[in-house]
A and B are shown apart, each in its own frame.
Chain A
């Protein structure tokens, strides 16, 4: 874990859960696994607050606990996972993907689950139905069954999964369902901290449980409730909610979480498809899309390539709307195999030719294109030429670089040294004699893709952290103005509700002067720009992370 990651994690935690959680979270990230007493001692935060913070982190899966390393009976230790915290950055993308795939219902299901870490199906369905009803026209409402079928769909496609059951923590199981879906639940960590039951030190993956994607039988009939705006309505609703929550629906104790891995596989497939569309054409990308969809269930997430598919199978699975005749499909497949990017490979001749999608090679190609793009934008196209040249030819002397790239010696030297100083290019010395005399040494320039990708990944983390800092700063600078505009909006809303005269309304509106309005508008633009930039950088992060992870797994 690097300083950049910790900094970014801290900022993300502060934004989503506040400063106390940030402090506990970054402390855990910096110092590794620790027990409750050490955390309190080293952070200087009160026991109650630390417990609550840990609870929040555990609720969101950002922190795991295990029995102490000093043998049975030693205090439980907590460990934060930076990977999970960094996922917060990608929340908008998960939600957007759910929206495009499953519509508004899917969007809100995922949004609720992401906001609460994990929850039972029944409570999720209820909340979602309520929220959807809220946005509907007067007199209409959302049926629970509709939402739960959308939920089941998401489970079937593995976008949602059950939380792994906590081994040997019977006491917690008994206590948590009583208060589901409340993130700041202080009872959980207390139970965890005192629980002396030794849990296995290796955290089991959710996939290792057979029921991971099994939807439980749930008895939940009814429709979404509309939230009433009046004060007494609020109380009434709360009372109702409490009453509803106490009802049983037959799925207590089964908690669901978002399966990030599945989303990442989806993102990866999308990236490959769009790369094919850019490089070749739309039709080729549709063929690759079909191939990827066919192998979604049969291919393991870490496989280097998909299971072989015969041309016949692909032909049958192509949506008829594409209208691709069989001979043309064969031509397209041959072209895809011939392409130097090798997104698609040929695995055999049977069944009209067996084809695979080279997932890891595609990721490596995409990562390489990302590196090239960074060099191109930052140092110009001539430097990018040198960079690509080195990627292609591995090791080259300075003179060779000048000759191949057709760049004058002086400029080429300048570019090479700049790239070298930024660690994008490495220098390898090969002495002819053991004394390393410069006149008798070969100096070979080279590019190492994997370390360079890792370095750029760190740069991305720093960039996102910078963007967040800047956003916080911008908001802080205009705090007074923002508060004022909020106050005025509230006044306007209440006046409108009470049916005030139009003159009165304009009078209140004019309390914000024209320059102030301009300033607010500018601020809004700035925040939007920073937000979208964060998401864009996250796309780069995703590509580089997937590439780095793909090189780590041994070829299966």
Chain B
């Protein structure tokens, strides 16, 4: 009886490949991290390797199983039911392209790179991409790096900063006015701080130290001003402060801070302060020649010469 039962079971198993597939799926559900070939073999000891392979291949081709590789060998894992359902009615090529795009994550992938990875003709890929886009499975994002380059990523992903350019871009246009306004506001803040320190009439050391502001303080000031529609991070503000350094208006020092102090990163704090330039505009640029666009073409007796120079005439009559 028992023998018969087993036999029956075995027979049904063997006769119906769907049963085998169901059993494998059950196993996968039991072990969400994936199962090896050995697990299936242990569970269905009587299954011929050939049949086992057939069943697995079928599941793989249906997109119900994922094939993964780890250190101990191949792993089978049940595929996300959600994505599987999304992909209903898609053919293999579509699934392949979707997979490639999914792998690219929130950095996105260029259609040319999809072609290299999938080995599909470009026209085919374009068709598939259009298809997927209309199903709202993927989206195209314009990259700031190259305005004509579109990258594709899954629909629900937030594009990476390297693609959108972060806070400084809206619709891949660089917001240079926004940057300039922030640049001026930061400088105004640091300058007023330096002035307050100068007017305090304290000892020089105290004066200098109180003219410094941490990047956190600047960040807070900018946030409270409410000039920015988007949320700026402290890194963003530091980028702005760096432009002020390159403008020669601000100096930066790094000091060690106690762990947990507001605005400290890795036990360091960046301090900024407004400074004055060491010289007035130099003498050369106070003359028209110092700013002349045709300086190199200017020769006495030539078409352009100091005697008939219109810039000089304007400057003299000013």
Measured CB to CB, the residues of A under 8 A from B are 274-275, 278-279, 281, 283-284, 327-328, 331-332, 334-335, 340-341, 365-366, 369-370, 372-374, 376-378, 381, 384-386, 388-389, 392, 404-409, 411, 456, 459-460, 462-463, 465-467, 469-470, 473-474, 522, 525-526, 529-530, 533, 535-540, 543
Contacts and interface: CB of A to CB of B under 8 A. Distances in A.
B246 A405 contact: yes
A275 B289 contact: no
B312 interface: yes
Contacts of A465: 306
Given A278-B278, A374-B284, A377-B290, A335 B300 contact: no
B205 interface: yes
B50 interface: no
Residue among B278, B280, B298 having the largest count of chain A Cβ atoms under 10 Å:
B278
Contact of B204 (A335, A373, A466): A335
A283 B204 contact: yes
Interface string B248-261: 10010000000000
Contacts of A366: 278-279
Interface in B290-318: 290-291, 295, 298, 300, 305-307, 309, 312, 315-317
Q: Which 8 A-B pairs have the closest CB atoms?
A: A536-B283, A377-B285, A463-B289, A466-B306, A473-B307, A408-B174, A469-B306, A275-B278
Given A408-B176, A467-B289, A332 B309 contact: no
A377 B306 contact: no
B291 A378 contact: yes
B243 A385 contact: yes
Contacts of B282: 369-370, 373-374, 539-540, 543
A328 B204 contact: yes
27 contacts: A275-B279, A278-B279, A328-B203, A328-B204, A332-B204, A335-B204, A369-B278, A374-B284, A374-B285, A376-B281, A378-B291, A384-B247, A385-B246, A404-B242, A406-B168, A406-B179, A459-B289, A460-B284, A463-B287, A467-B289, A469-B305, A470-B312, A533-B283, A533-B286, A539-B283, A540-B282, A543-B282
A411 B205 contact: no
A529 B248 CA distance: 30
Contacts of B287: 463, 467, 533, 536-537
Contact of B277 (A278, A328, A535): A278
A414 to B, nearest CB: 13
Contacts of A334: 205
Contact of A462 (B246, B279, B295): B295
B275 interface: yes
A533 B312 CA distance: 12
Residue among B309, B316, B317 having the largest count of chain A Cβ atoms under 10 Å:
B316
Interface of B: 168, 174, 176, 179, 183, 198, 203-205, 208, 239-240, 242-243, 245-248, 251, 275-287, 289-291, 295, 298, 300, 305-307, 309, 312, 315-317
A365 B278 contact: yes
A377 B281 contact: yes
B278 A341 contact: yes
B309 A470 contact: yes
Contacts of B285: 373-374, 377-378
A288 B174 CA distance: 46
A140 to B, nearest CB: 40
A388 B248 contact: yes
A388 B306 contact: no
Contacts of A372: 248
Contacts of B289: 459, 462-463, 466-467
A456 B243 CA distance: 26
Contact of A538 (B179, B240, B283, B316): B283
Residue among B204, B248, B284 having the largest count of chain A Cβ atoms under 10 Å:
B284
A537 B248 contact: no
Given A373-B281, A392-B246, A537-B284, A406 B306 contact: no
Nearest to A387: B246
Contacts of B295: 459, 462
A389 B248 contact: no
Nearest to B209: A335
Given A279-B276, A459-B284, A335 B205 contact: yes
Contacts of A284: 204
Residue among B204, B247, B298, B312 having the largest count of chain A Cβ atoms under 10 Å:
B204
Contacts of A530: 316
Residue among A372, A388, A404, A466 having the largest count of chain B Cβ atoms under 10 Å:
A466
Contacts of A328: 203-204
A365 B278 CA distance: 9
B305 to A, nearest CB: 8
Contacts of A469: 300, 305-307
Nearest to A466: B306
Nearest to A526: B316
B58 to A, nearest CB: 46
B243 A470 contact: no
Nearest to A402: B174
Contacts of B242: 404
Given A406-B168, A467-B287, A470-B306, A384 B278 contact: no
Contacts of B298: 462, 466
Given A384-B247, A406-B240, A467-B287, 4 more contacts: A374-B284, A407-B176, A462-B289, A463-B289
Contacts of A377: 281, 285, 290-291
A510 to B, nearest CB: 27
B9 to A, nearest CB: 65
A389 B246 CA distance: 5
A275 to B, nearest CB: 4
Contact of A463 (B179, B243, B290): B290
Contact of B286 (A405, A409, A536): A536
Contacts of A470: 306-307, 309, 312
Contacts of A327: 203
Contacts of B247: 381, 384-385, 388
Contacts of B281: 373, 376-377
A540 B284 CA distance: 6
A363 B19 CA distance: 88
Nearest to A284: B204
Residue among A366, A378, A381, A463 having the largest count of chain B Cβ atoms under 10 Å:
A463
A459 to B, nearest CB: 7
Contact of A331 (B205, B240, B276, B279): B205
A326 to B, nearest CB: 12
Contact of B284 (A365, A411, A456, A473): A456
A401 to B, nearest CB: 10
A341 B276 CA distance: 12
Contacts of B315: 529
A304 B71 CA distance: 65
B176 A411 contact: yes
